[in-house]
Structure 1
């Protein structure tokens, strides 16, 4: 058999963002007889996905470094790549991209780079570092048309390097539609993950509503020294209990949800404001937030101050988001900017209509009035009426639910994405 092509994913950190999650998810679908995958990262954080990468056969390595320290890691990464016999470096996000180009030029190996956002969203150091080195790679992959246009416009006039070997290719993000299927009746026991995915329990992290707090106490969950509620090891409800009941949400209540890293681009303070307006017309609605981040305390304080905390449920970071998606009826997004959000594609694959701002690649996926509703980025107040319309019109909701999954299956499958990635890998080796 021919030697496997060794791919090194290079990324600054392995948190639970969309770019990071794509590495193990694509590895599950790749041809393992043809490719061998390694991942090298530099900044270690508590909530990372290292175990998830290793569970799908990716060999993970760490070279500790700060952002600016990455400029001094060229020799280490070069020596590491040479020792492992790496054939292609696939970098993600600007800092790793800049580093990879220096390493690639030194070793004379192909560099593939995935851009997950538009350039105007990067700070000045990231922007100029990216621009000065951008043409010193083989293929730049854009996750959406908007990202591709941003790359082309910003590298059209380049005073630092003219010409070069760079090719720009758009490969839109995908989702494993066989894994992301809505769970029957929200019953965790009805869910078994697809081939290659490790079966695991359902974890409950934290919630801001009293109902879940009481439930967690009954589960004998210990409190940490910080006063936060620690997560139970797994779902331990009765077989007759649905996951919705476990979360403290009434069975008949509509649920509007969001999976996200709590950072400013997501504008979750607007998300909460819109939720409170929805409650004025649909007081039975509950809201589910999955994720964590630097904006957590401010968002939770906003919810508590609203006097409506019993309608809000925060479950923290979850390795397995499928059970949480499966209790959502609407996926609401108020983002200021996006690349092409993986969590939204996963939600659509679970038959959840999307109500969102037309940020980044969202408008390339969701067709207004078909798989959900869209507003312009600064006209987010319109999203309130769209959510109310879906809550109050079951027929429209059902039609959009089916259309959401069909759209992802037909146009945004992981199988399609991986096939295009493998074509890129093969092409750069032939040059």
Structure 2
């Protein structure tokens, strides 16, 4: 959206984000991250959420200039919050509702039945992955909105196929648009470069040129010491909510296979969730607890991403994972299953390696080969960041969002 187009409005455009909860998932994190890039002299952002949990990101939204409001509710209780949300919209003269994920989407459409207000909905996953109640509630109400945004082409295809019984009509209210997730590449940046020598998993090698490999900054060295990771050990990691879709039990199996060939490798898992105890048990049974570091939920993941040599993902399904894009922006190549939008980002052999979702066993070989080839690893580091800058920047994402906002207001 150009400044001229924005200036056509004589007041700030008020956008209300609706989302069920504010945990540390990718959908939730995008709300403050996009707000920081929006022109807040032209936009005012509010957010209503309904389920409060520990380690949420309300403080991050507030620091981003978003006014946060909690209306306590369960999933089914959302249907009884329509009047409260409608009253909030009228009292605060909201211009646009932007809902995220099925439950908030269903609520937004219910509110919109009695209010003349544009509704934008962002879908972060394929419909086949939702439970039946979420699926049918989403499907039945889906056309009662102005724009449906898909975070990847696969998500867009899923939306189209699942609403084929109610086809999109020329001139109809709802439009479907793909806006791929983005990352603020100015913020997500690796913390330092090395000027002399670098040790790889194979031993010590002389650098071919100054700056050819990365060293950990003073913060990174302190973090290595805190985690008891040797200075020259290779590190493979992930940032994730520990839930079933991530298949972290397979992640650990891949890591254990890597250790059979590269016993000095260390593994960092940033996050938490229902699978934590089972993962810890699996690691302890293998007798490799010294090589694994479960550091819990971290508000600032950049120091951890900056330690990583490889970002490893074993997901069964995805939309377009923000954490992976953040890792790439920090010059971390990716070895992953081609779940969801991952296959739309990673070009095989350029920014990393992909396998089919059920061929996850091959991930260990790709990691081993990459760790044993420092020149290729360096080349992929640079290619990963370049890919994000060129195609997945937050600036590009926000420009596309603002264009959607302008279109629905027209």
TM-score normalised by length of structure 2: 0.90
Question: Which of 359, 376, 387 pairs up with 2:367?
Answer: 387
Give the 3 Å change call, closer, same or farther, for CA 246–298 of structure 1 in structure 2: same
Question: Which of 285, 291, 315 pairs up with 1:311?
Answer: 291
Equivalent residue of 1:407, what SS? helix
Question: Which of 22, 32, 36 pairs up with 2:44?
Answer: 36
Structure 1 position 245, deviation (Å): 2.1
Distance across 2 between alignment mates of 1:398 and 1:240: 18
Equivalent residue of 2:357, what SS? coil
Structure 1 position 158, deviation (Å): 2.8
Identify unmatched segments of 5+ residues in structure 1: 187-236
Counterparts of 1:351-390 in structure 2, within 5 Å, are 351-390=331-370
Q: Show the counterpart of 1:133.
A: 141
Counterparts of 1:5-404 in structure 2, within 5 Å, are 5-158=13-166, 164-184=172-192, 241-404=221-384
Equivalent residue of 1:274, what SS? helix
Distance across 2 between alignment mates of 1:74 and 1:240: 48
Structure 1 position 243, deviation (Å): 2.3
Q: Is the 8 A contact 1:185 1:242 kept in 2?
A: no
Structure 1 position 275, deviation (Å): 0.3
Give the 3 Å change call, closer, same or farther, for CA 427–43 of structure 1 in structure 2: same
Q: Is the 8 A contact 2:332 2:384 kept in 1?
A: yes
Distance across 2 between alignment mates of 1:168 and 1:69: 29
Query: What whole-Å deviation, never above 9, does each CA across 1:341-379 have from its counterpart, x for those lacking one?
Result: 000000000000100000000000000100000000000
Distance across 1 between alignment mates of 2:140 and 2:148: 14
Structure 1 position 164, deviation (Å): 4.3
Give the 3 Å change call, closer, same or farther, for CA 111–288 of structure 1 in structure 2: same
Q: Is the 8 A contact 2:79 2:107 kept in 1?
A: yes
Distance across 2 between alignment mates of 1:239 and 1:117: 35
Distance across 2 between alignment mates of 1:85 and 1:300: 49
Post-superposition, which runs of at least 4 consecutive aligned residues in structure 1 deviate over 3 A? 161-164, 237-242
Query: What whole-Å deviation, never above 9, does each CA across 1:300-333 have from its counterpart, x for those lacking one?
Result: 1111111010000010000000000000000000
Q: Is the 8 A contact 1:29 1:418 kept in 2?
A: yes
Equivalent residue of 1:112, what SS? strand
Structure 1 position 407, deviation (Å): 0.2
Distance across 1 between alignment mates of 2:328 and 2:380: 10
Equivalent residue of 2:296, what SS? coil
Distance across 2 between alignment mates of 1:240 and 1:250: 12
Q: Is 1:408 aligned with 2:388?
A: yes
Q: Is the 8 A contact 1:287 1:311 kept in 2?
A: yes
Q: Is the 8 A contact 1:177 1:414 kept in 2?
A: yes
Distance across 2 between alignment mates of 1:25 and 1:248: 32
Q: Is the 8 A contact 2:221 2:231 kept in 1?
A: no
Identify unmatched segments of 5+ residues in structure 2: 1-6, 195-216
Equivalent residue of 1:140, what SS? strand
Structure 1 position 420, deviation (Å): 0.2
Q: CA RMSD, aligned part only?
A: 1.7
Give the 3 Å change call, closer, same or farther, for CA 426–163 of structure 1 in structure 2: closer
Query: What whole-Å deviation, never above 9, does each CA across 1:104-154 have from its counterpart, x for those lacking one?
Result: 121110000000000000000000000000000000000000000001111
What is the aligned residue count?
A: 379
